């Protein structure tokens, strides 16, 4: 997979003051990390999203100062470490679409990571691309999805649930997205692991220019 980035057209840098003014009024859930990946700032849209989704413990007052890795599934941490390194070393932004559905709403979002300077850090914004009621769902039959400890395994990218009797079958079951943490195990489904999160695909070598 080639990293999806915006064109190389350089935007005029804006001051931090102007940046915060934009973020405070933005509908995009946005936050800033320092160079050590600690959360430095969350905008009001972050708190609104946290409240709407029952995550009061994730409001800005609770997460400022914490490393972003505390809130990133461990399966995705090497991938996002690569993303941060990519944006900083190439001084370029990076974008990535992902599923952020709730039990009632099908939601596809796009994450953008922007490198920051003076001081170095990262701005992350999350824009909603699609938001609509779910069109379909599978029957959440416990026998099909629950393991021996009554937990279900959900893909942390596409949000599908693993079928316990199969190594390959994963179904989209919106009802599982509202389960408490103690009933969920996060993993990557085979498709997401193969096509989106395989380290060898993250960066492609520059094309060789014929002499």
What are the residues binding Zn ion (CB under 5 A)?
A: 155, 157-158, 189, 192
H or E segment to which residue 176 belongs: none
Nearest distance in Å: CB 51, Zn ion:
27
Neighbours of 71 (CB within 10 A): 11
User: Measured from the CB atom, is 22 or 194 closer to Zn ion?
Assistant: 194
Residue in 101, 105, 110 with CA at minimum distance from that of residue 129: 110
Nearest-approach distance from CB 80 to Zn ion, in angstroms: 16
Q: Which is nearer to Zn ion, 35 or 201 (CB)?
A: 201
* Alpha-carbon span 84 to 69, nearest angstrom: 12
Q: How far is the CB of 194 from Zn ion (least distance, A)?
A: 10
To the nearest whole angstrom, how small is the minimum distance from the Cβ of residue 13 to Zn ion?
A: 36
Cβ 153 to Zn ion, closest distance in Å? 11
> Measured from the CB atom, is 80 or 122 closer to Zn ion?
80
What's the min distance (Å) between Cβ of 42 and Zn ion?
Answer: 27
For 173, residues 6+ apart whose C-beta sits below 8 A from its C-beta are 137, 138, 140, 145, 152, 160, 161
Please spell the DSSP secondary structure of 61-88, one letter per residue.
Answer: HHHTTSBGGGGS-GGGHHHHHHHHHHHH
**Nearer Cβ to Zn ion, position 116 or 192?**
192
Partner residues linked to 162 by β-bridges = 170
Output 50 or 189, the one with its CB closest to Zn ion: 189
Question: Which burial class, exposed, middle or buried, applies to 156 when counting CB atoms under 10 A from its CB (0-12, 13-18, 19+)?
Answer: buried
- H/E segment holding residue 92: none
> Given CA atoms 44, 50, 56, 58 in this order, what sign does their dihedral have?
negative
User: For residues 29 and 189, which CB has a smaller minimum distance to Zn ion in the complex?
Assistant: 189
């Amino acid at each position: 997979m080639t990293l999806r980035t915006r064109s190389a057209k350089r935007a005029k840098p804006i001051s931090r003051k102007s940046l915060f003014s934009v973020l405070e009024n933005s509908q995009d859930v946005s936050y800033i990390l320092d160079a050590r990946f600690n959360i430095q700032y969350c905008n009001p849209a972050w708190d609104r999203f946290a409240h709407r989704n029952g995550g009061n413990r994730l409001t800005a007052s609770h997460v400022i100062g914490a490393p972003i890795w505390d809130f990133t599934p461990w399966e995705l941490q090497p991938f996002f470490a690569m993303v941060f390194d990519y944006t900083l070393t190439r001084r370029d932004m990076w974008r990535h679409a992902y599923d952020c559905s709730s039990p009632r709403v099908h939601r596809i979002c796009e994450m953008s990571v922007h490198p920051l300077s003076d001081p170095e850090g990262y701005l992350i914004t999350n824009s909603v691309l699609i938001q609509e009621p779910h069109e379909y769902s599978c029957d959440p039959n416990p026998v099909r999805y629950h393991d021996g400890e009554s937990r279900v395994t959900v893909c942390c990218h596409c949000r599908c649930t693993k079928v316990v009797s199969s190594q390959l079958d994963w179904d989209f079951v919106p009802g599982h997205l509202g389960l408490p943490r103690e009933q969920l195990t996060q993993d990557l489904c085979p498709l997401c692991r193969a096509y989106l999160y395989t380290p060898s695909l993250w960066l492609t070598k520059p094309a060789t220019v014929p002499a």
